[in-house]
Chain A
Amino acid sequence: GQNIDQPTEMTATEGAIVQINCTYQTSGFNGLFWYQQHAGEAPTFLSYNVLDGLEEKGRFSSFLSRSKGYSYLLLKELQMKDSASYLCAVGKESGAGSYQLTFGKGTKLSVIP
């Protein structure tokens, strides 16, 4: 089975740095994704890690440790528009050839002035 845990809510100040953690226990692993989802909108791809280490993309970075079943998303220079839910998802190839994403419940980030 798949078990993905991330904090339910976080609050951070505009201009600051925030780290959103994700731990997972899965029966298969082919990569970890982070998506951003504003209320009422579709998830938008942010980052993808398949090997251990840090991937940096502008203000966003994501880290993965496969041995620990752990990832985090780091957001720097927070802006008000970063207020959204952040979804951690584990990818797994199934026997039928699909690449399924199993999502956590998401972390609702509120950025305050």
Chain B
Amino acid sequence: DTGVSQDPRHKITKRGQNVTFRCDPISEHNRLYWYRQTLGQGPEFLTYFQNEAQLEKSRLLSDRFSAERPKGSFSTLEIQRTEQGDSAMYLCASSPTPRTSYGDTQYFGPGTRLTVL
């Protein structure tokens, strides 16, 4: 397995357009996370899936954002009516079910860099 993959790597769009990003996690990882990272900041949590269930969403995730993981494998993140403030790197991470009561390591994909003009 080559790790978490994301597509596209770069996306330039005009304000008001819809965009969709895809994430393929490490196989057999049942936990999947989306983060957003802007310049000079660390990644910020957006949403979390355990298998196909979306169990948590950050308040950062406005109504224009929707994420799915229909078969518990790949996930998509859609942004409707994009705004210039949506310009950021969108990172996907996956992890296996923790082996202990403590958390497990999240492995990140290369990210999708979104530029909204």
- On whether the beta carbons of A103 and B48 are closer than 8 Å, the reply is no
Measured between beta carbons, the chain B residues less than 8 angstroms from A89 are: 42
User: Which residues between 93 and 117 of chain B lie within 8 Å of chain A, taking CB atoms?
Assistant: 95, 98, 102-111, 113
Q: Interface size (B, Cβ < 8 Å)? A: 28
* A35 nearest CB neighbor, chain B only: B108
- Which range holds the interface residue count of chain A? 20 to 34
* B68 → chain A closest CB, angstroms: 16
Measured between beta carbons, the chain B residues less than 8 angstroms from A98 are: 31, 33, 48, 50, 55-56
Pull 26 A–B residue pairs with CB atoms less than 8 Å apart, ordered by A: A4-B42, A30-B102, A40-B113, A41-B111, A42-B108, A42-B110, A42-B111, A44-B108, A45-B106, A45-B107, A87-B42, A93-B103, A94-B56, A96-B56, A98-B48, A98-B55, A98-B56, A99-B98, A99-B103, A101-B33, A101-B35, A101-B43, A101-B45, A103-B44, A105-B41, A106-B42
- Which B residues contact A (CB, under 8 angstroms)? 4, 31, 33, 35, 40-45, 48, 50, 55-56, 91, 95, 98, 102-111, 113
